[in-house]
């Protein structure tokens, strides 16, 4: 569009006194692609050049192209002049132009006021109420999912096996490459940083403890959960949110299918299975990364590393790490699904809810992880 020359119809219009009539010979083109916003200039020019009391004729003889916007501007011009006490006539319109002017005149309105923007204190009040509402709504959703899940476990025929398997594929198996790569890198980083520090104390052998305990207890479960929250939780929110916007969720309800049964429970079950398995996978690959870096950067070889590993890393460290995974899985799946159901009727809200699902899951995961640490230290695991 940039290269198109833009004409100024107001400037191209000639204004002069012809006998006892003020003649305004309108420029040829008054369309949306001209500089219609300059019409005010023309009005000022007419008022300046044609004395009050002299009738004004807007002469449309040269007018070849006029669209609704042009007609609007011209009738506003005429109205403006009339309000200034002038007598105004438009002449020389073709029949088509005449009908356009009539159509525009019949539909002219003042623009409505824009939607009211809430005051700061109203927004603050509304948002705190919303937080409370959301908390209650989320808890009741969680309760509903939990109760129906228990029901499904009692009557396994209610478990939608194929859906669970499909979700296992997308949330579990498909996540293996990214989780493997990132855990491997984390293992390498831990070993590298640790080896450097421990070497200054001459405590090189403790590298095995460092890599093993930190990965198995904390880093592998945490990293895996955070990746899955970003990868799968967001997908859950977006999918359910879009289905709400397109009324697919309503269609399910009308067919007598519970959206929780069809959309939520298979996802929860799948993630409850997938996340612990992914955590075990992250443990293994992370430790392999640590082992590789230890062999490269210290005198400790892989044989010693593997021999030392079971002596310093107790089984319970592994169990503590993997044991956290189902809790994280429940958080990710339920937050993602719940946010999806909160989406209203626009693409924007689906986006906002998807973002919130990741933010809230990651927040809850880290808070819960901290709570686990405290509890475990109290009970002495």
Partner 1 sequence: MNEFDRPQADASENAVEVRDVVTRFGRQVVHDGISFDIRRGEIFALVGGSGSGKSTLMREILQLERPTEGSIRVFGRDLQSLRGADALALKTRLGVLFQGGALFGSLTVLENIGLPLREHTTLDPKLIEQIGTLKIALVGLPPEAGSKYPSELSGGMIKRSALARALALDAELLLLDEPTSGLDPAGARALDRLVLQLRRSLGLTVLVITHDVESIRLVADRVGMLAGGKLLALGPVAELENSADPFVRGYFQGAAATASRTVHPPGRAGEPGGGGPAIPRRTDDLWEE
Q: Which residues bind partner 1 (CB under 8 A)?
A: 1-7, 28-29, 31-33, 35-37, 64-65, 67-69, 72-73, 76, 96-97, 99-100, 103-104, 107-115, 160, 162-163, 166, 239, 248, 252, 262-263, 266, 344-349
Whole-angstrom distance, CA of residue 355 vs CA of residue 372 = 26
- Beta-sheet pairing, 65-66 with 56-59: unpaired
Whole-angstrom distance, CA of residue 330 vs CA of residue 236 = 13
Report, in Å, the least distance between residue 335 CB and partner 1: 18
Report, in Å, the least distance between residue 73 CB and partner 1: 7
Report, in Å, the least distance between residue 99 CB and partner 1: 5
Nearer Cβ to partner 1, position 32 or 136?
A: 32
Decide if 96 contacts 67 (C-beta within 8 A): no
Report, in Å, the least distance between residue 279 CB and partner 1: 25
Residues 365, 368, 369: CA angle, nearest 5 degrees: 80
Nearer Cβ to partner 1, position 7 or 23?
A: 7
Report, in Å, the least distance between residue 260 CB and partner 1: 12
Report, in Å, the least distance between residue 12 CB and partner 1: 10
- Beta-sheet pairing, 21-25 with 14-18: antiparallel
- 26 three-state secondary structure: coil
Nearer Cβ to partner 1, position 33 or 199?
A: 33
Whole-angstrom distance, CA of residue 148 vs CA of residue 258 = 10
Nearer Cβ to partner 1, position 306 or 347?
A: 347
Phi–psi pair at 76, nearest 5 degrees: -65, -40
Q: Which two tokens stand for residue 32?
A: 């949306």
Whole-angstrom distance, CA of residue 308 vs CA of residue 208 = 7
Nearer Cβ to partner 1, position 67 or 209?
A: 67
The label of the residue with tokens 């319970």 reads 316
Give, for 22, the enclosing helix (H) or strand (E): strand 21-25
Nearer Cβ to partner 1, position 160 or 199?
A: 160
DSSP codes of every residue in 114-134:
PPPPPPHHHHHHHHHHHHHHH
Nearer Cβ to partner 1, position 98 or 140?
A: 98
Report, in Å, the least distance between residue 197 CB and partner 1: 49
Residues 96, 102, 106: CA angle, nearest 5 degrees: 145
């Amino acid at each position: 569009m940039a290269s198109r020359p833009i004409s100024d119809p107001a400037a191209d219009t000639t204004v002069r006194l012809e006998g006892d009539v003020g003649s305004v010979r309108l420029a040829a083109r008054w369309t949306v692609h001209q500089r219609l916003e300059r019409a005010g200039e023309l009005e000022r020019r007419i008022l300046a050049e044609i004395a009050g009391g002299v009738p004004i004729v807007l002469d449309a003889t040269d007018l070849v192209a006029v669209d609704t916007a042009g007609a609007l501007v011209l009738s506003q011009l005429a109205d403006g002049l009339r309000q200034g006490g002038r007598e105004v006539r438009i002449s020389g319109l073709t029949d088509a132009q005449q009908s356009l002017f009539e159509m525009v005149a019949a539909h002219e309105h003042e623009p409505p006021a824009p939607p009211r923007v809430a005051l700061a204190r109203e927004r603050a009040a509304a948002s705190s109420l919303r937080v409370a509402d959301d908390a209650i709504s989320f808890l009741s959703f969680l309760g509903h999912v939990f109760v129906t899940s228990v029901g499904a476990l009692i009557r396994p025929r209610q478990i939608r096996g194929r859906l669970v398997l499909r979700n296992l594929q997308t949330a579990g198996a498909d996540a293996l490459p990214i989780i493997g790569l990132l855990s491997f890198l984390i293992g390498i980083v831990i070993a590298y940083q640790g080896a450097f520090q421990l070497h200054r104390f001459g405590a090189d052998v403790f590298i095995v403890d460092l890599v093993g305990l930190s990965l198995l207890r904390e880093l592998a479960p945490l990293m895996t959960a955070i990746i899955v929250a970003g990868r799968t939780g967001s997908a859950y929110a977006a999918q359910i949110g879009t289905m709400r916007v397109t009324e697919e969720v309503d269609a399910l309800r009308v067919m007598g299918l519970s959206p929780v049964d069809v959309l939520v429970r298979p996802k929860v079950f799948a993630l409850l299975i997938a996340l612990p398995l992914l955590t075990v996978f992250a443990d293994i690959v992370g430790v392999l990364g640590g082992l590789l870096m230890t062999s490269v950067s210290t005198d400790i070889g892989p044989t010693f590393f593997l021999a030392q590993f079971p002596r310093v890393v107790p089984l319970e460290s592994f169990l503590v790490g993997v044991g956290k995974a189902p809790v994280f899985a429940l958080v990710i799946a339920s937050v993602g699904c719940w946010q999806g159901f909160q989406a209203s009727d626009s693409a924007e809200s689906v986006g906002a809810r998807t973002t919130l699902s990741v933010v809230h899951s990651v927040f809850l995961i880290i808070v819960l992880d901290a709570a686990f640490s405290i509890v475990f230290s109290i009970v002495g695991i």
